Chain A
Amino acid sequence: MDNNLENEKIEIDLLIQAIFRKYGYDFRNYAKASLSRRVQQRLSRSNLKTISEMQHKLLYDQSFFETLLLDLTINVTEMFRDPYFFKAIRTSVIPELKRQPFIKVWHAGCSSGEEVYSMAILLKEEGVAQTARIYATDTNEAVLQEAEKGIVSIGKMQQYSRNYMDAGGMSSFSDYYTARYESALLNKTLRKNVVFSCHNLVTDGVFGEMDLIICRNVLIYFNDELQNHVFGLFRDSLCPGGFLCLGSKESLMFTQCSDDFEIVAEREKIYRKKGKRG
């Protein structure tokens, strides 16, 4: 192997160790390719010469670590991403949930909240907002603070509005926000039943008795072993008959937990935990 290449790989492994030991964030079982890309990117934007120098800086400078944390936890998200997924929630999941007096929803890896607000809009239109409670979690506190504000850049609203319509929206998307200069402020009432909190899927435990778990585009960043761990966590956090939703390129099939679930919609990545509600 090219000598530089080999050294860079060693340096990245050591960097990941340093982050874990110093700050407790465990990236050791994340998929390496993306981590390495993000570290290299940060390096080229800094005045540091090597990843080893970056490691030194990160140990002694907490604010630099926080910047790097934002790089490593990729926080890109949008409202009603994959509209056909939200449409399937309306047709295949909501009718089942409607039979219950109370609904608990968990968005794991909710980033800055766009997906959560999308779900809140959908639940409202389906007439179950009053009986639902949404737990929205992420490992990254900075994005959770963003999520709580509910502010989206106005430039994105046109695309979100299109997504909303494609997702079976029943009203006008502009009913859900007020425009202020460059930003759109999402209606406060949407987050009335939403609780934002910090939860790390690698190091934290079960989040109990959920009816619906949505974890999209988070598991793509994990290796097989960690994916299996998290699938186990989701299985144990769901009620029997509860739903699990993944991102469009993620799948529960061929994992250690596939026998515990049945497929509701394979293209939309909606699964249901086996067993009857007690």
Chain B
Amino acid sequence: MEGVVKSKYRAVVIGASSGGLKALKTILSVLPGDFALPVIIVVHRHPNADGYMEESLDHKCTLSVKQVDEKEKIQNGVVYIGPPNYHVLIEDTRIFSLSVEEAVNYARPSIDVLFESAADVYGPELVGVVLTGNNDDGVRGLQRIKRRGGLTVVQTPETAEAESMPKAAIAAVDPDHVLPLKEIGPFLNGLSIFNIQ
């Protein structure tokens, strides 16, 4: 379409651990149907978890929420959740790859694996968000995003069910934005709307 300015960002990646489902509901439920970017999420969960998380988020959101499929093409305006027991990586061709390599810091899926791989593909066109959690997954990933020129966002620890993960990210990365949970959704929405003029 003419008059559509090429957006600055091409994708959003989000990492969450304990308390993640609730936080994700808060964020994703305010994203409108015309949200212009793909949202790619890794949440720590049990290796044999069923599809409950995807279903309950899909129910809450205007955007469609689905589990990442092997070699699936990444599409704008879709929310993707990494499958239990697999790492999620992104190919240059903007499709997903999965891996069963060792857990990274006890996590598979690992937020770092997704973020690092996404940073290598999207470079400065990536937004990375670290949410609630009880460990420090996401730190290395967010560092990589920063190094490649992407935008880094962390949830304000006081608004997180578990503080360690956002705290660790803030200490290690000096993120571009530290936002209370309620403001993250509208903020992302702003980035996406900003792109279409």
Contacts and interface: CB of A to CB of B under 8 A. Distances in A.
A2 B148 contact: yes
Contacts of A34: 89, 97, 99, 101
Contacts of B2: none
Interface in A84-122: none
Contact of A5 (B86, B116, B148): B148
A8 B90 CA distance: 16
Contacts of A217: 100
Interface string B96-115: 01111110000000000100
B117 A250 contact: no
Interface size class of B (residues with CB under 8 A): 20 to 34
Given A32-B92, A249-B69, A74 B101 contact: yes
B34 interface: no
Interface centre among B91, B99, B121, B124 (most CB of A within 10 A): B99
B24 to A, nearest CB: 21
B128 interface: no
Interface centre among A34, A221, A223 (most CB of B within 10 A): A34
Interface in A59-90: 74, 76-77, 82-83
A31 interface: yes
Contacts of A250: 70
Contacts of B138: none
B83 interface: yes
Contacts of A223: 71
The 4 closest A-B pairs by CB, nearest first: A33-B89, A31-B97, A74-B101, A249-B70
Given A1-B123, A36-B120, A249-B86, 18 more contacts: A2-B124, A2-B148, A5-B148, A31-B91, A33-B89, A33-B92, A33-B120, A38-B101, A74-B100, A76-B101, A83-B48, A220-B99, A220-B100, A221-B97, A223-B71, A224-B71, A227-B71, A247-B100
Interface of B: 48, 69-71, 83, 85-86, 89-92, 97-102, 113, 116-117, 120-121, 123-124, 148-149
